[in-house]
Chains A and B, each alone.
Chain A
Amino acid sequence: MRVDRWETLVVALLAAVTVAASLGVDGFANGSNVAFLLLDVTEIALMALTMTLVIVAAEIDLSVASTLGLCCAVLGRLWTAGLPIEAIMPICLVTGALAGALNGLLVTRLGLPSLAVTIGTFALYRGLAYVILGDQAVADLPPAYTGLATQSLGPIPLLTLLVVVLAVAAGILLHATGLGRAVTALGANEEAAYFAGIRVKRIKFWLFVASGTMAGLAALVFTFRYASARADNGVGLELAVVAAVLLGGVSIFGGRGTLAGVVAAVLLLAVVRNALILADVANEVLNFVTGLLLVASVLAPNLKVRLERKPVQ
């Protein structure tokens, strides 16, 4: 199967790049760099998990990074207002959930395309973040939490363990449960799924809620990791997230994709980036390489079809 092969390719590429970087790039293959690399990709990885589900359902959520910013702003505001952090954290998640719910309502109730809706809320949520926190940076966060966010268990960062647990959960959800089957089916053919009694709208709504909530969680991680809550936290991350999901072999048209592929793609992008930075490559080149990988991921399946069509005479 084509899909499986693409994911194998991503994994192989990841292995190759990792080996090459270990041999060729000074400072790549040491424990602290690997831990840093893993830690640095936490937010992207988290949001990519739910984004995978959303895109498999043939929708998209471009507002995730703005939702993250909004949640950071809420966190900063409430912290400066003197609320205990233990109370703020759930509020942060609920804020994300509500932002996702608004996306979900606009998409399922009004029947608007999610691309348009989430481009709108992309601007809206970021704007709201500035309204709430302004240009302020809230930095005096409790060290207990900022410390926790960068701690490791042996060589592996705690947050990476969190990502692993959630990735396994999302993988099981998508590939081994009836709900995941329903998500795949409705992404491939919404009408047939509806005729089969799948509650298409309800599922889509909850996917957007999940995506928003995950952005809320990513906001907590981001804030504690950098010990700074700002309205512009995570600007541009949505592109990194979507890029990873597509590179991981998820079809932009829905109905196809695996979580393993996405995880491999997240790592691949992170390793490439890290290795190039260590090798002192300019930022522009960096973006160029990321873009190249992405174009390749979109082109590859089509190229393969072309090649197969060629007569074998």
Chain B
Amino acid sequence: MLALREVSKSFGAVRALRGVSLDLAPGEAHALAGENGAGKSTLVKILSGVHRPDEGALLLDGEPVEFHGPADARAAGVAVIYQEPALFPDLSVAENVFMGRHPRRSFGRVDRRAMRTRALDLFSRLGVPLDPARPARGLSIADQQLVEIAKALSRDARVLVMDEPTAALSGPEVERLFGVARSLRDQGRAVLFVSHRLDEMFALCERVTTLRDGAVVATDVLADITPDDLVRRMVGRDLAALFPKQPTVPGEVALKVDRLTREGVFTDVSFEVRAGEIVALAGLVGAGRSEVARAVFGVDRRDAGSVHVAGRPLRAGSPTEAMAAGVALVPEDRRQQGLVMDLSIERNIGLTTLKWGLLSRAAERARATDWAIRLQVRYAGLTDAVTVLSGGNQQKVVLAKWLARKPRVLIVDEPTRGIDVGTKAEVHRLLSELAAEGLAVLMISSELPEVLGMADRVLVMHEGRLVADLPRAEATEERVVAAATGRPA
């Protein structure tokens, strides 16, 4: 239906794609795999008309086409969910969904009622309890992604392209999205699906194309290969997909959260994290996990309850003081909260360790280089703005920025969102290592294998309350999911 022939694309000296060919067939879901920076998003942006190929051609139903911009691609029936949500914060959710194609009444007036019912209809297909009338500002990353998904689905397109749509979603949301995608596929649409979660590719897709350094390594029928084969194609070597945490003896209580409440968001949340422990906070999207993390760190206010770090009370509402006490928060939204996109890699990494006085550029660079290497950030130069990095590499810069502070308590909100398998294992190894050195880690994650593999204890939240506290031995997939969905275990 839609195909790429020998497409190449360079950004300056970076060759993001080299001679890539890909066929999207009607009635088929096609997966796109590859490490961070392999060129997946670039390929997606070529399909969507954002970038134009330097060489090669796009074929639509066998005929060469040129997309001069996203509008052309849209007109040709291509709907795209980009890796990074880009909503208009001051418009309502419904207006965002129907941007540019608002339902009309006479005299071109926007039909708000129709817009609302159609948005509600889409959300119920996806099973999301979102109010179409609320503004997009302040939506969690997962909700923003769901709005983007609704936006793409509302187009009724022939080709649906999804760039890591599930990176911030947990099991049930992913299942619903897949349900919708499958029904589209069965109606004869073509689906392209990008993800770093192998199990998802196997669950949804029939074929997979793997990119490495911008070139196609192989296109396989998924039924014929194993996840290990796929990892080998991506990375070029064998790799343990998951790195289990090393057992440690928990030390003193490093973080104590007592009856923390924020009205209407979460209620009566109490837990402790000890030095050397990794505690996971699991739950569905919207359960209030990120909000708890933000209130602990002080970027959000809290209405009741207390937070103690190493026995000392932490004042509410001051991230600066939380940092001085040794707390670090890797936020979920890397573009808005994690990074200053226009600043360079090294300056972003240096941002958390700023002193007021004179800076030593050499020291700053040395530290940035050190962390960039430890996290295997793929970049052309440390002075490049982080905008030009691929999504996963941006995430690594956010991690580097906070690890450079050598915190005592590390709160990570979806730490491996958009990070490829190889580096994910690397991040897990690093967290495990740091925990062994006495770091207390609170990890919010929507990815169950990550939660089960890494956590000494699993806390589960459901609708703003802590509903389960499971030690590693008792934390099974069934129990976590049951607690997260509010079913009695």
Contact = CB atoms under 8 A, between A and B. Distances in A.
Nearest to B352: A196
Interface in B291-348: 299, 319-320, 322-323, 329, 331, 336-343, 347
B336 A192 contact: yes
State the 7 A-B residue pairs at the shortest beta-carbon distance, nearest first: A178-B354, A197-B323, A189-B340, A195-B337, A197-B320, A196-B351, A178-B355
Of listed A176, A177, A185, A198, residue having the most chain B CB within 10 A? A185
Contact of B336 (A181, A185, A189, A198): A189
Interface of A: 172, 176-179, 181-182, 184-185, 188-189, 191-199, 255-256, 311
A185 B352 contact: no
Given A178-B355, A255-B340, A255-B342, 14 more contacts: A172-B358, A177-B356, A181-B350, A185-B351, A189-B340, A191-B337, A192-B337, A193-B340, A193-B351, A195-B337, A196-B401, A197-B320, A197-B352, A199-B320
B488 interface: no
B359 interface: yes
A176 B339 CA distance: 20
A174 B325 CA distance: 28
A121 B236 CA distance: 64
Given A177-B359, A181-B354, A197-B323, A192 B339 contact: yes
A185 B320 contact: no
Interface string B192-203: 000000000000
Contacts of B358: 172, 176-177
A188 B354 contact: no
B52 interface: yes
Summarize A's interface: helix, strand, loop or mixed.
helix
Contacts of B356: 177-179
B338 A195 contact: yes
A181 B342 contact: no
B359 A178 contact: yes
Nearest to B351: A196
A61 B229 CA distance: 61
A184 B234 CA distance: 38
A22 B457 CA distance: 77
Nearest to B294: A195
Interface in B352-386: 352, 354-359
Contacts of B352: 196-197
B359 A256 contact: no
Interface of B: 52, 299, 319-320, 322-323, 329, 331, 336-343, 347, 350-352, 354-359, 401
* Max chain B C-beta neighbours (<10 A), residue from A185, A196, A198: A196
Contacts of A182: 354
A181 B339 contact: no
A177 B357 contact: yes
Q: Which of A172, A182, A185, A192 has the most CB of B within 10 A?
A: A192
Contacts of A256: 342
B352 to A, nearest CB: 5
A196 to B, nearest CB: 5
10 contacts: A178-B359, A179-B356, A181-B347, A188-B342, A192-B340, A193-B351, A194-B319, A195-B299, A195-B329, A196-B351
A266 to B, nearest CB: 25
Contacts of A193: 340, 351
Contacts of A199: 320
B3 to A, nearest CB: 21
Contacts of B351: 181, 185, 192-193, 196, 198
B355 A188 contact: no
B385 to A, nearest CB: 9
A69 to B, nearest CB: 33
Contacts of B319: 194-197
Contacts of A195: 299, 319, 329, 331, 337-338
A191 B319 CA distance: 12
A181 B346 CA distance: 12
A172 B358 CA distance: 8
Contacts of A188: 340-343
Nearest to A172: B358
A26 to B, nearest CB: 46
Contacts of A255: 340, 342-343
A185 B343 contact: yes
A257 to B, nearest CB: 12
Nearest to B52: A311
